[in-house]
Structure 1
Amino acid sequence: MADEQAQGGPQAQGKETLIPGVKHVIAISSGKGGVGKSTVAANLACALALTGAKVGLLDADLYGPNIPMMMGSTTGPEQKDGKILPVENHGVKLISMAFLVPEEAPLVWRGPMVHQYLQAFFRDVLWGELDYLLIDLPPGTGDVQLSLSQMVPLAGAITVTTPQEVALYDVRKGMAMFQKVNVPLLGIVENMSHFVCGHCGERTEIFSYGGGERAAEKLGVPFLGRIPIDPAIRDGGDTGHPIVVADPASPQAAAFRDIAQKIIRALGGAGQAVPIENLLKKIKQPFSSN
């Protein structure tokens, strides 16, 4: 029975109609916690929105939902005709369990409850027409990952890692899980890749170097790019202004935009690269891409 579910058995039937207006569903995963997966998910969602694509971001990290804080969304969703209207910020439609439970409330759920709530985030949310729906998953391989593969057709999975070997070990296990449930692997993002001193310009490989690229080569999947450690990226997550929109001319923002373009090309999806001078004008105006 478990194998049947993992391969998309009876529970997966009809998943194509659960979110009919969404063209590409992309899972953002990590083998372990603490690698900056949610930061990458938030910035990639904003980077895709800046191409003119219609983008949604579903916070499926049900045990530690923090996408609303990272996206600067403090007001919860409204309802319309018995459905939930996602919150919109930075041109991205958002939904998260953080909108629905008290901030300090711990979530202690078993598998069936996880499946039920995740399904509600698809069935009961008015996502509308989207080119991309990014799903920020909890770390590891568990109930959320399996339920997701049963509910909706995933265009692919992106795994976020840091360069050191202990993180890469978990990456290999996580990507093997997606392969088992027949989800295409879009590639690996190496986060916290290096640190450049703001005073002397010296580059330091805090977590080693090139681990993500080596893992991608070994697994035969694309290496999507490196994101440096930088206080501005952390500050963007703390203040709700992802660096892609807070400082679009920075090298850090450019790294996220480059990864977004690789995703677009891999999926043959909507969105065009925007010259930086036009991007700066667009961000200064009210964002209305969706």
Structure 2
Amino acid sequence: MSLDPQTLRQALATVIDPELRQPITELGMVQEIQADDVGQVTVRVLLTIAGCPLRDTIIADATEALNRVPGVKGVTVELGVMSPEQRAELKARLRPQAGIPFNRADSLTKIYAVASGKGGVGKSSVTVNLASALAARGLKVGIIDADIYGFSVPGLLGIKQQPTRVDEMILPPVAFGVKVISIGMFVAGNQPVAWRGPMLHRALEQFLTDVYFGDLDALFLDLPPGTGDIAISVAQLLPKAEILVVTTPQSAAADVAERAGAIALQTQQKVVGVVENMSWLVQPDGSRLELFGSGGGERLAARLSQTVGTPVPLLGQVPLDITLREGGDVGTPIVLSHPDSPAALALSAIADGLLKRPRGLAGLRLGVEPV
């Protein structure tokens, strides 16, 4: 009894390209499927580029999917490479329109620009953990490490893989279900980036136009501290982005952070809320040691509410946690490695609050016409 090619193709439809995050059958990567009378299956898969870094993953996933089909006795996966014409067709399918996809009228992606008034408040750790928590809940999530001078997101997520280039299109690495792009992926070692404002704007613009994120539920931008070039560029390039301000309980930090949120008045953006980080340290006896004082997050939320004229909530307070620091050092978010720790529970609660904010339909044409 011969195997049905359609059944084999349906099995391959469960194989997701690890970079494009779509079935390989929909991407035009399955060139040919053959099966003989004794159950030996041979499939030829076309890679987007020669030397694809995740080729072994594709081979393993295709082999596993086909072996689950009743009657299959063995699987051989042969690899080829797409022709320039096939790549052009793939790019046209993935990105049919030029420009920034998140600005299209039919885009429902929630964009969070994570800002702080000063450095050292844990903004990047908050960004990485919120994104990872949402991805763990089944959402499609991306991060743009927009802190060009102080990039840290790849290290916090343990990413060492370089982005894959398909001609001029860039495929971002994926860690813990989160697609990530950072200037740190394009510089050698720990080389500093010494650019002026126009170069910063161009780098962010290229991340938004050349990097293929696909359809995301949420996109996080880890901004540099303060209200400089990148904050202005985000407002220009992503007018729908909402500002999420990170501070510590210290009054001085909250005062500086107010400026990062108040920029929304000039850029016509919304401040989605405040996250207070390093709120306290839980002692062995269960008491709380407030190393940096208390109340900074609440005061900041109240002052921003008054400044911008709309309610700005305190989304949560994240305690100091050694496992949070350890997770950042080894590249594993605490919400995944120690989900029951105090900091992870606080970050997960903040992520759940963001999860309850539905993808917006405002201004979206539904194509409904009267009969």
Q: TM-score range by the shorter chain?
A: 0.7 to 0.9
CA contact (8 A) 1:194 1:205 kept: yes
CA contact (8 A) 2:117 2:260 kept: yes
Give the distance between the partners of 2:292 and 2:110, measured in 1 at CA.
33
In the other structure, the counterpart of 1:227 is 318
In the other structure, the counterpart of 1:201 is 286
Q: Which residues of 2 match residues 116-135 of structure 1 at below 5 A? A: 116-135=202-221
Q: Does the residue aligned with 2:165 lie in a helix, a strand or coil?
A: strand
If you compute each CA radius of gyration, which structure gives the higher value, 1 or 2? 2
* Over 4 Å off, 4+ runs: 14-22
Give the distance between the partners of 1:263 and 1:247, measured in 2 at CA.
21
| CA 228–182 in structure 1, closer or farther in 2 if over 3 Å, else same | same
| Correspondent of 2:130 among 44, 68, 80 | 44
Deviations 1:202-231 (A, max 9, x none): 310000012101221232211000000111
In the other structure, the counterpart of 1:243 is 334
Give the distance between the partners of 2:344 and 2:172, measured in 1 at CA.
25
Are residues 1:157 and 2:243 paired? Answer: yes
> Which letter maps to 1:113?
M
| Correspondent of 2:303 among 218, 243, 246 | 218
Give the distance between the partners of 2:239 and 2:358, measured in 1 at CA.
16
CA contact (8 A) 1:28 1:160 kept: yes
> Which letter maps to 2:339?
P
CA contact (8 A) 1:161 1:168 kept: yes
| Correspondent of 2:160 among 50, 71, 74 | 74
Give the distance between the partners of 2:100 and 2:182, measured in 1 at CA.
22
Are residues 1:179 and 2:265 paired? Answer: yes
Query: What is the TM-score of this pair, normalised by structure 1?
Result: 0.84
> Which letter maps to 2:271?
L
> Which letter maps to 1:248?
P
| Correspondent of 1:148 among 226, 230, 234 | 234
Q: Which residues of 2 match residues 49-64 of structure 1 at below 5 A? A: 49-64=135-150
Give the distance between the partners of 1:116 and 1:171, measured in 2 at CA.
26
| Correspondent of 1:269 among 343, 359, 368 | 359
Q: What stretches of structure 2 of length at least 5 have no aligned partner?
A: 1-97, 306-311, 361-371
> Which letter maps to 2:179?
K
Query: What is the TM-score of this pair, normalised by structure 2?
Result: 0.66
Q: What stretches of structure 1 of length at least 5 have no aligned partner?
A: 1-13, 271-290
**Deviation at residue 158 of structure 1 after TM alignment:** 0.4
Q: Does the residue aligned with 2:279 lie in a helix, a strand or coil?
A: coil
CA contact (8 A) 1:16 1:153 kept: no
Q: Which residues of 2 match residues 82-121 of structure 1 at below 5 A? A: 82-121=168-207
Give the distance between the partners of 1:116 and 1:37, measured in 2 at CA.
23
CA contact (8 A) 1:15 1:152 kept: no
**Deviation at residue 18 of structure 1 after TM alignment:** 5.7
Deviations 1:32-66 (A, max 9, x none): 00000000000000111122110001100000101
Give the distance between the partners of 2:359 and 2:281, measured in 1 at CA.
33
Deviations 1:115-172 (A, max 9, x none): 1111000111011110100000000010001011101233411000001111011111
Aligned pairs, number = 255
Give the distance between the partners of 2:102 and 2:135, measured in 1 at CA.
23
Q: Does the residue aligned with 2:217 lie in a helix, a strand or coil?
A: strand
> Which letter maps to 2:301?
A
> Taking every aligned residue pair, what percent have the same amino acid on both sides?
44
Q: Does the residue aligned with 2:255 lie in a helix, a strand or coil?
A: helix
